[in-house]
Amino acid sequence: MITREDILLFSGRYSQVDSYNKHVVRQVWTDDVIRGIHLISGSHKLDESISGTIKRFEKFTPLGLEISPIDVENLESFIQDKNNIFAFSKACEHYLDGPEDILQGDIHPSRIILVAMVLDESIDVTFSRFKRFASVLDLSLPGEEVDDWNLNFTI
């Protein structure tokens, strides 16, 4: 059976409730391959485990939907720490509206420094956070270590 929550998984943008206390889909995404960003976004939207979100998506595999190989344990640990939502959201917020709100591609050192300052953690800790999830989010990080950045100041 398809539920309202299943439909929310496929909404790129949605409002939690309208004036009639119903979910409103604002935009539908049309990706045919489910990646880490979709699982994180769906799990966050529905406040459920990554495994639960995968099961929801699996209902649609007969329609041609593919679920890419995912490190489920790593993604489960991602959603358990709410600071990860903040760190990896494009707008530096504790909320995701859809998969497009999650960072992708090249990450500049300034982003890591900003997140470290806001989360009140060392840059090394924040950089380790980014390294841990870089592969599941398809991120390209600035070097292997913070020392590679050649900073001309002390943080």
Per-residue pLDDT reduced to its tens digit, 30-41: 578 889 998 999
127 within 8 A of 120, measured Cβ to Cβ = no
Cα–Cα distance measured from residue 9 to residue 6, given in angstroms and rounded to the nearest whole number: 5
pLDDT at residue 100 in the model = 84
Kindly report the pTM of this predicted structure. 0.82
pLDDT at residue 40 in the model = 93
Q: Which residues lie below 8 Å from residue 139, measured CB to CB, with a gap of 6+? A: 103, 104, 105, 106, 107, 130, 133
Strand partners, 14: 25
pLDDT at residue 6 in the model = 82
pLDDT < 70: residue spans in the chain: 12-30, 150-155
88 within 8 A of 103, measured Cβ to Cβ = yes
